[in-house]
Amino acid sequence: MTTYVKKCPECGSTNIFYNKEKGEIICKDCGYVIEESMVDFGQEWREFESEAGEKRRRTGAPMTYTEFDMGLGTEVGKTADISKLGKEKGKFLRLRKWQYRISTAIERNLKLALAELKRVSSYLKLPASVEEEAARIYRLAVQRGLVRGRSMESVVAGALYAACRRHDVPRTLDELSEASGIEKKEIGRTYRFVTRELEIRIRPSNPADYIPRFASALKLSPEAQSKAVEILEKAQKAELTSGRGPTGIAAAALYVAALMHGEKRTQREVADVAGVTEVTIRNRYKELLDELKLAKELKKIKKKRK
């Protein structure tokens, strides 16, 4: 769903160019990019979903935005036009100069930011697609002037975080924080701000997405790992996952799975790799045992050991 705009919010001109293929709306007078492919659907965050295993979440999946945006260098008029302008000439030249300054400033900023982005993303070993998405988000943020009042680094981190979520390769805020050197709170803040302003919808991350990384950090066997995923699926069906932090659930599932496969890890160990506390693991763990019939299974296994 795309909104049609009649007036440029920047210069008030009504000379709007609407490019359907690219999903861009550009003001012909000042070159301001008003909107780029606004995608609707998708859920905001967890919480409000008391549904019973609805699988409808996939609706708002990734869309177009492949364009890495080539000719952004919008220019204000050409020298040839100026002669026709008469008294407007001065204004026009000023406009053009201003435009030039802005765009070079943006370019310079972008160069720095992309370097930083590259650094962080390679530190986290993120796939190229995520890096590109993050770059795109950052670029949009700059165009919208969202960086003002925030450090460039934090916006980069926020963009990366958002890109990770969109591509289902979630990193925790802690990891982003460690990689970027920005405080967790700050990243979360800019992440929320940027995604809201750009209307980037991100559905709640799936706990299962965290399993492989956590499992390997804990050196768990593949069997235990798939057991954890299995547990997670059950948990989702039992509606244990909504409104909970995905990492906590993933951690608890791993903890149980490890127990069941005789590869015991302490709550402390699991908590550390998942970036939650032992208490959270305990709570989730208890819920899992209560709601699923895992308690029996555990006892069985315990007996076997004796």
Partner DNA sequence: AAGACGAAAGTGGTTGA
Partner DNA sequence: TCAACAACTTTCGTCTT
Tell me which residues touch DNA (CB under 7 A).
44-45, 47-48, 185, 188-189, 192, 243-245, 248, 264, 266-268, 275-280, 282-283, 285-286
Minimum CB separation of residue 218 from DNA in Å reads 12
Closer residue to DNA, CB minimum distance, 8 or 250: 250
Q: Choose between 47 and 230: whose C-beta lies nearer to DNA.
A: 47
- Least CB distance to DNA at residue 185 (A): 4
Q: How far apart are CA 69 and CA 252, in angstroms?
A: 43
Residue 164 Cβ, how far from DNA at the closest point, in Å?
A: 18
* Min CB(188)–DNA separation in Å: 5
SS (H, E, C) the chain: CCCCCCCCCCCCCCCEEEECCCCEEEECCCCCEEEECCCCCCCCCCCCCCCCCCCHHHHHCCCCCCCCCCCCCCCCCCHHHHHHHHHHHHHHHHHHHHHHHHHHHHHHHHHHHHHHHHHHHHHCCCCHHHHHHHHHHHHHHHHCCCCCCCCHHHHHHHHHHHHHHHCCCCCCHHHHHHHHCCCHHHHHHHHHHHHHHCCCCCCCCCHHHHHHHHHHHCCCCHHHHHHHHHHHHHHHHCCCCCCCCHHHHHHHHHHHHHHHCCCCCCHHHHHHHHCCCHHHHHHHHHHHHHHCCHHHHHHHHHHHHC
* Closest separation in Å from C-beta 205 to DNA: 11
- Residue with Cβ nearer DNA (43 or 103): 43
What is the closest distance, in whole angstroms, from the C-beta atom of residue 40 to DNA in the complex?
17
Minimum separation from the CB atom of position 171 to DNA (A): 15
Which of 10/263 has CB closer to DNA? Answer: 263
Amino acid at 237: K
Q: Which is nearer to DNA, 75 or 199 (CB)?
A: 199
Looking at the Cβ atoms of 31 and 204, the one nearer to DNA is 204
CA distance linking residue 295 with residue 235, whole number of Å: 14
Contacts of 140 (CB under 8 A, 6+ apart): 36, 198
In angstroms, give the least distance from the CB of 261 to DNA. Answer: 14
For DNA, the closer CB: 121 or 280: 280
Q: At which residue do the structure tokens 């450090």 appear?
A: 151
Please say which residue, 31 or 207, places its beta carbon nearer to DNA: 207
User: How many other CB atoms are there within 10 angstroms of residue 214's CB atom?
Assistant: 22
